[in-house]
Amino acid sequence: MNETPLARRIRALIQENGPIGLNVFWREAMTAPEHGYYMRGRPIGAAGDFTTAPEISQIFGELIGLWLVDAWRNAGAPAPFALVELGPGRGQLMSDALRAASLDPAFGEAARLFLAEASPAMQAEQRRRLAGVQPEWRPDWQTALAAVDGLPLFLVANEFFDALPIRQFKLTADGWRERRIDASADGFFFAAGPTGLPEGALPEGALPAPLADPPAGSVLEHAPERTALAAAISRHLAKYGGAALAIDYGHGTSRIGDSLQALRSGAPADALEAPGEADITSHVDFQALARAARAANAAAWGPVDQGAFLIALGAEARAAALKRRASAEGVAAIDQALRRLLHPLAMGSLFKAMAFTPTGASAPAGFVMETR
Ligand code: SAH
């Protein structure tokens, strides 16, 4: 059989332990040393498997930079403070954010920049784009948050939560069973695992339909690492102050459904077929993040649709200013990029923004409602 080194490694793991959870497969496929998807090269951008908002237009990162300055001022402009980005990709968002934030030089002077990035290849890209500002890198969110312990935190994460591994459970005649991944001569496939749901897989209290009474065959997704991250950020904010912004594709209320997605060279692919060759993500359950934040004594805001969020922050005014200095072609490109970011049929409503603050803080820019 013609298997990649990473597929051989996962097969060995299954032979040793029996069928593995989707989260274990996912973690290996994406961040295994050397052959994991993110470790190999440059999957983001026009030449990569997918394009993210900061790669579409400078306006995205600029508005987030202004959001961070505004949140920092509202918190009393603490100095020094930790500026953290989780999963900065090619570094475009932070580069645009810092340029916009330089309107208030005190912000840059007080900031200590930490980037959480698993991939050495991505780190190298970030180093190039952020040459002037000397960030510090940590390989994961846990060590990045530990490194800024004691400091007020202003954090941004674009398409990071959706990249963290999930587990899936399927409702069978025997009740909920985990979907585990097994291997045969033909490759990897889903097999029914142990029965029962882990603690926290369903929200506590009265459940809304269809969570309360799901039809047979339903798939329930559970993302313990995502809620652990939301909880860790929230504990930090409750203790030291600050604000955090997460932007991802997903839904505002917990629901039933299989949202596992793999993309290879921009086209949908089978998530199990060629581990390390395709980007794997799934929808973020923002309600689960908000629950984790509240349990950690912080407040969650939104989520609001990306389009509405960027318009509230002034996307259209910024585009108009850029267009005044652009050629006819430049004007068309700006309009097209803005449409991709804002329009409900593009990224505007599938992608959503959620903010986290200490309890009692005023609404961060672009948000109205605290999540209850
Ligand atoms: N925020 C960027 C990139 C999103 S892709 C953008 O919007 O363009 C996800 C990013 O997170 C990549 O940089 C990837 O290498 C990194 N990453 C994925 N899983 C990670 C993990 N567990 N720890 C640290 N970084 C991770």
- The tens digit of pLDDT for each residue in 304-355 reads 999 999 999 999 999 999 999 999 999 999 999 999 999 999 999 999 999 9
The Å distance, Cα 117 to ligand 1 centre, comes to 6
pLDDT of the residue at 209: 80
The Å distance, Cα 99 to ligand 1 centre, comes to 21
pLDDT of the residue at 48: 64
Buried b (16+ CB within 10 A) or exposed e, 98-136: bebbeebeebeebbbbbbbbbbeebbebbeebbeeeebe
Q: Is the CB of 117 under 6 A from ligand 1?
A: yes
pLDDT of the residue at 353: 98
The Å distance, Cα 212 to ligand 1 centre, comes to 34
Q: Is the CB of 38 under 6 A from ligand 1?
A: yes
The Å distance, Cα 109 to ligand 1 centre, comes to 26
Q: Is the CB of 118 under 6 A from ligand 1?
A: yes
Q: How many Å is the maximal CA-CA distance in the chain?
A: 64
Beta-bridged to residue 8, according to DSSP, are none
Residues whose CB falls within 8 Å of the CB of residue 36, separated by 6 or more in sequence, listed in order: 6, 28, 29, 30, 119, 276
Q: Mean pLDDT of successive 10-residue segments in the chain (372 residues)?
A: 86 96 97 89 63 95 98 98 97 98 97 96 94 94 98 98 98 96 96 95 84 92 97 98 98 94 90 92 97 97 97 97 96 96 94 98 95 84
Closest protein CA for atom 22 of ligand 1: 140
Q: In testing the pocket of ligand 1, which one of 30, 93, 117 has its CB within 8 Å of the most ligand atoms?
A: 117
Closest protein CA for atom 20 of ligand 1: 118
**Cβ proximity of 302 and 310 under 8 Å:** no
The Å distance, Cα 164 to ligand 1 centre, comes to 9
pLDDT of the residue at 341: 97
pLDDT of the residue at 211: 86
**Cβ proximity of 35 and 5 under 8 Å:** yes
